[in-house]
Structure 1
């Protein structure tokens, strides 16, 4: 089941993102050596770093990362590394971060995996946890009544209300 991106007052059941390519390749995310090494250290056998994008944060959408053992073959893309580490991204979130870089950074405030250099983001918060999408894209959403409608995003926050 696809998870909703926009959770405000609506149940969204299905998403459609037009894709420029018919099949996704492992070239959709650049992963630094530092991130690969750290992921190998912190993950147990069978655990993957799951990256997702959800509504929220101070810029409209936020990156979420957790260690997860579950993989949905229909909805997830997987990147495996020679040290046994792997990254899993659901196909909806992938459309928001395609071409980005996954890095591991350590500073005075925190040590964490971060998405940087996202070509599909324009504005972001200072901590790097949230962003605004750059491109206009069209989402076809099937609501709870089975009626499709379109949403257009272009760097604006919005609230979707179905009455």
Structure 2
């Protein structure tokens, strides 16, 4: 039992260390990778607490095959790419970036809700009316 507890503590400490990454060691996102609109940038300045950043991930699911997951996060991971602008940070992991390279991050307010959204994704063929699900172009 003691051996099992030690192994658990060892692996838990290694796992937690993988999130202790400085933003200065991450590869930057370029304008060719992703754009952030002025509206999204301004809203991020209003909602982010110190140490928080906007995280965008692409995951399988949704009604069109893939979906964007957008959340506020305080942790950085080894494969994150970083966009910085005026005390605001946006992170996208390498795999997700492959599904949205060239897209724009915007803040959209409509009759149903206000939210950050990925728009104008050149790799997406069609999307869902919710704005978070998309299918890839097949060329």
Structure 1 position 54 matched with structure 2 position 59? yes
- Count of matched residue pairs: 112
RMSD: 1.4
Q: Note if contact 2:35-2:103 (Cα within 8 Å) is conserved in structure 1.
A: yes
Q: Does structure 1 residue 106 correspond to structure 2 residue 109?
A: yes
Q: Structure 2 vs 1, CA of residues 108 and 132 (structure 1 numbering), >3 Å: closer, same or farther?
A: same
Looking at secondary structure, tell me which structure has more helix per residue: 2
The reply on whether 1:45 has 2:50 as its aligned counterpart is yes
> For each residue in 1:91-133, what CA deviation from the matched residue of structure 2 results, as whole angstroms up to 9, or x when unmatched?
0000000000100011110000010000000011112110001
Q: Which has the larger radius of gyration?
A: 2
The aligned counterpart of 1:77 is 81
**Which ranges of structure 2 fall in alignment gaps of 5 or more residues?**
1-26
| TM-score, normalised by the number of residues in structure 1 | 0.66
State the distance in 2 between where 1:98 and 1:81 align: 18
Q: TM-score, normalised by structure 2?
A: 0.77
Paired with 2:114 and 2:70, the residues of 1 have a C-alpha distance of 13
